Structure 1
């Protein structure tokens, strides 16, 4: 087939034409959008990008402060964990983006890259190509950073990373509280020595800038890139030699076979990718047979190694001016006319890293944190599923590298059935995760009790309710066990490594088959200290180079 006819068969738009391309990518999220855009830069190849969700049209997808209004809606996979024994038996809501841009269209837009040491840990697991030194050029390729503070930060990349346009005055008060408590305030996203900072955000002029905005929209005029929304992939197909040939996908109620001439690349994220691998016969053999699925590869680690950042927040009542007033008509007018005001807030307007005494006890390397402190100019309660109850703030502790690992498993062989998610929070045998979180909440208490924050709070508590009548230890215990939730950073369920047990090799190829790769947060061998959107986009960029190198060896 000529390059010209190949391009025509993969033309842009959903359409009803033949589903065939050189590369079939499943999932248009943080990694998938970047990967599709980069591969389609070569006019000689064709790319078919399949996204289960719809186009990113809703206004709430683009208004930064509105992200929690998307929870449990049409743009959310709407997952819940199984009951967590160490969190008072609660199930935890796990939103995941189901639209163009994936979770980059649903998240709190925080650009927190993590530490160089985190990526060097990836290098230890998967080889030097995944070390910090090797990945810095990819961060340059990704980032379009406003006022870059470090030479490792990119300034001409695809993804806007900007200052907040209109932060609340409480954020300045919080950073003053940090100084008062003796912690450093530094520039954001330093590879080492990171302290507290005002959050840099994936915004452009006050509006969300998802990977759909940063990568797919600039590429939408390319004839060799076809993006199909409302496309639920059922499973990967293989020939007799166990080479991936494409995927079965449901579009408009019809199951069709999308064919991949070269490769299939899964970019569904840490929940959907292991689910799809299981449905395709790649996973723990006994579990697959329980659901009547033919085993292609017995891969016990598919769906294992699940890691996530747990957050527990304290919410003191505030004197006024918080995001409790964000939905007033004047704020909507300020946003729609000038992209100013409260609705430009990403809610979590500051953060910082601390090292607790537990880190010293368990031998965390010197200079690295075990807790991230997050600050929100609103009382973020009820997992974001309820309206803001009052004027308030949130100061929370986030467990950075949990010892507790969980699983993603199939509920049934029906691809429309939600998988069984068990993050196993606080389940490590020696209780280090719980002790670390309680130490982090003690830091939150100290910050709330500074003069800077006492000046903007009332002495009462939104969460825990009645907290003014509790001790600090009691507030920490109830916040951890009764109110903690995910920070939306699941990773690790298709672990990358050089060892034979890893799900994908260092070139992201799924072990045991040919023509199939994974490129998303599921391949992270260990969760980073920071937030996972930035490294997920980097993974998409790296995958593009790996795919191109395989197609043109020696170039």
Structure 2
């Protein structure tokens, strides 16, 4: 009988020091006694895309922009958790004030388990809590994007200027990284002067240097990086980190904080968007919001732009009358536009750990108070050491090799583009498994490390739907995880492939005892599948729930410019409006990319 779901222990340590509170920010109040507050653009959601849009649109001092955000500055809630890379894992279970406290519906493909799904309620959104990976997606993914929406501007060559606009690259600090952890990168592919600070973390995980040897031993070639349209191979991972101080670079720190003095930008913090208001011509005229138990109307002269994310953008459309008519009528919502695709087509990556006890230092050492004190001192004084890295500093991606796909079913054998990986292997998060499937407890004080096998090209599709006509009630989030036969077969192969690397002679010198997870008792395909069903987790990469497509496609929600089909003066610009989940280690970077592109579209009219 299987023990409870194994998980990885993240390290919620004390703060290094109290992060500076944001003072003097241009917060605008909402009052029912005031007349409707008027702006050119009203952006719902001050997350990754929302703040990029707000920044670019307010470059014109004559354009007035309001940002509606349910949270506030992350530093005011979680201290420096959003700044110090090594604290990224704290958000999985910590900082409840910054979380929407979402849970999935019971997942049929995961033995009925309901997963907590952390979405950040804060300026910067999930860019304030993620593991800071920076990468492009593949050339063929952009080609497919362009074909699906009928717009050649989405090809890789045409989007490259927007990738470069997101990047301000600094070379790695080779003086503080291990000599066998020197990243190889092609400077021609990097860019400076863009929005996000990008570099390699000043601390390299020792575990990663060994995993690189194991991956190479099974034939996965080393590459310079993942910023040239090619995702196949293995490489050190670039991070959205400011090299000078080691802090996270996010949409809040890069696109908002330096521009807080713009008088044409208004922030409505701690303010919940309740519904989009339409006139009789089906034009979005503004947003009804609530703050401190007060409801008021914020008027948009030109457009309302939703950037509330993969769950709440479809939810807000639905409660406002845009969505599947039958669903809206169930809650007595007036149907403005019958769009059956709203909330459909959602994708997410899934991942599963393989773990060993090892004889190199991992994040397990941070449980030791003396070691933690030393790490804090090193970060404070040198912007280096274990806390300078979130842990996800090495990654490999590939197609499943031929010898492992011989038994694939017809559903699984599909033609993906040549540069589109099926699976990935990554080293984060390093931590201590609570227990393995037999209930064996970890050795106190020992170092444990994990290699995550992840499904990059899922075929399972989920949905988001309202549970009531109110935004204050969480939506029903059904990821429909692991229900496609193809996903099961590919993940079984991914576990076998990860084991090949871990059990190679190259890694033998650092492994102690037998495999901890899933353990030697899990060998057959049936046993691996059972392990997967009880152990997998979503990777918090929900995408495509308001799918972009051609206006002739009845399931498309937005067109190639992000405009909601069936209404006017309303766009969706965030992870929900992608046509699919883009392959790669950092899909959130594509959200920056889309926001940069569509900001240009909006400015051109």
**Partner residue of 1:435?**
489
94-103 or 474-483: bigger deviation? 474-483
* CA distance in 2: counterparts of 1:382 and 1:24, whole angstroms: 45
Query: Aligned to 2:329, which of 280, 289, 295?
Result: 289
* CA distance in 2: counterparts of 1:427 and 1:87, whole angstroms: 8
**Partner residue of 2:5?**
none
Please state if 1:203 is matched with 2:241.
yes
408-417 or 83-92: bigger deviation? 83-92
**Partner residue of 2:179?**
none
* CA distance in 2: counterparts of 1:181 and 1:518, whole angstroms: 43
Please state if 1:160 is matched with 2:160.
no
Residues 533 and 381 (structure 1), Cα distance of their counterparts in 2 relative to 1, 3 Å cut: farther
Contact 1:445 1:472 in 2 (8 A): no
1:423 Cα deviation (Å)? 1.1
Query: Aligned to 2:258, which of 212, 215, 218?
Result: 218
1:475 Cα deviation (Å)? 6.5
1:451 Cα deviation (Å)? 2.6
Contact 1:201 1:346 in 2 (8 A): no
**Partner residue of 1:345?**
389
Residues 223 and 118 (structure 1), Cα distance of their counterparts in 2 relative to 1, 3 Å cut: same
Query: Aligned to 1:141, which of 140, 162, 165?
Result: 165
Residues 261 and 321 (structure 1), Cα distance of their counterparts in 2 relative to 1, 3 Å cut: same
Q: Deviations over 1:188-232 (max 9, x none)?
A: 113126310111111113211111011111211111111221111
Please state if 1:90 is matched with 2:96.
no
Please state if 1:463 is matched with 2:520.
no
The aligned runs of 1:125-140 (5 Å cut-off) are: 125-126=148-149, 127-140=151-164
1:97 Cα deviation (Å)? 1.5
**Partner residue of 1:28?**
46
SS at match of 1:258: strand
* CA distance in 1: counterparts of 2:224 and 2:524, whole angstroms: 31
* CA distance in 2: counterparts of 1:504 and 1:376, whole angstroms: 34
* CA distance in 2: counterparts of 1:258 and 1:54, whole angstroms: 18
**Partner residue of 1:12?**
26
SS at match of 1:544: helix
Please state if 1:378 is matched with 2:415.
no
Residues 215 and 203 (structure 1), Cα distance of their counterparts in 2 relative to 1, 3 Å cut: same
Contact 1:378 1:391 in 2 (8 A): no
Residues 157 and 298 (structure 1), Cα distance of their counterparts in 2 relative to 1, 3 Å cut: same
Please state if 1:446 is matched with 2:484.
no
The aligned runs of 1:443-522 (5 Å cut-off) are: 443-464=497-518, 467-471=519-523, 473=525, 476-500=528-552, 501=554, 502-522=556-576
* CA distance in 1: counterparts of 2:170 and 2:423, whole angstroms: 27
Residues 289 and 106 (structure 1), Cα distance of their counterparts in 2 relative to 1, 3 Å cut: same
Contact 1:83 1:89 in 2 (8 A): yes
1:367 Cα deviation (Å)? 4.0
* CA distance in 1: counterparts of 2:167 and 2:434, whole angstroms: 33
Q: Deviations over 1:299-326 (max 9, x none)?
A: 1000000011111121122224100122
* CA distance in 2: counterparts of 1:143 and 1:392, whole angstroms: 34
SS at match of 1:207: coil
Please state if 1:241 is matched with 2:254.
no
1:14 Cα deviation (Å)? 3.1
TM normalised by structure 1 equals 0.91
1:521 Cα deviation (Å)? 0.8
Q: Deviations over 1:495-552 (max 9, x none)?
A: 11114321011111111111100100111111111121110001111121111111xx
Aligned residues: 533
TM normalised by structure 2 equals 0.84
Q: Deviations over 1:452-498 (max 9, x none)?
A: 3222221334433xx14443757733441111111111111111111
Residues 519 and 491 (structure 1), Cα distance of their counterparts in 2 relative to 1, 3 Å cut: same
1:344 Cα deviation (Å)? 1.4
* CA distance in 2: counterparts of 1:125 and 1:152, whole angstroms: 27
Please state if 1:47 is matched with 2:65.
yes
* CA distance in 2: counterparts of 1:534 and 1:175, whole angstroms: 24
Please state if 1:107 is matched with 2:130.
yes
Residues 534 and 544 (structure 1), Cα distance of their counterparts in 2 relative to 1, 3 Å cut: same
* CA distance in 2: counterparts of 1:281 and 1:521, whole angstroms: 21
Contact 2:309 2:575 in 1 (8 A): yes
* CA distance in 1: counterparts of 2:248 and 2:223, whole angstroms: 25
Query: Aligned to 1:178, which of 215, 223, 231?
Result: 215
* CA distance in 2: counterparts of 1:432 and 1:150, whole angstroms: 38
* CA distance in 2: counterparts of 1:151 and 1:287, whole angstroms: 51
**Partner residue of 1:66?**
87
Could you say what the CA RMSD is over the residues aligned between the two structures, in angstroms?
A: 2.2
1:376 Cα deviation (Å)? 2.4
Residues 545 and 315 (structure 1), Cα distance of their counterparts in 2 relative to 1, 3 Å cut: same
Residues 194 and 366 (structure 1), Cα distance of their counterparts in 2 relative to 1, 3 Å cut: closer
Contact 1:349 1:377 in 2 (8 A): no
Query: Aligned to 2:418, which of 366, 382, 388?
Result: 366
**Partner residue of 1:308?**
348
Residues 16 and 423 (structure 1), Cα distance of their counterparts in 2 relative to 1, 3 Å cut: closer
Residues 526 and 89 (structure 1), Cα distance of their counterparts in 2 relative to 1, 3 Å cut: same
* CA distance in 2: counterparts of 1:299 and 1:474, whole angstroms: 41
Residues 232 and 16 (structure 1), Cα distance of their counterparts in 2 relative to 1, 3 Å cut: closer
1:404 Cα deviation (Å)? 1.1
* CA distance in 2: counterparts of 1:393 and 1:78, whole angstroms: 28
Unaligned residue ranges in structure 1 (runs of 5+):
1-10, 551-555
* CA distance in 2: counterparts of 1:378 and 1:78, whole angstroms: 24
**Partner residue of 2:16?**
none
* CA distance in 2: counterparts of 1:272 and 1:494, whole angstroms: 10
Contact 1:275 1:409 in 2 (8 A): yes
* CA distance in 2: counterparts of 1:41 and 1:447, whole angstroms: 50
Unaligned residue ranges in structure 2 (runs of 5+):
1-24, 172-184, 436-440
Contact 1:139 1:152 in 2 (8 A): no
Contact 1:119 1:130 in 2 (8 A): yes
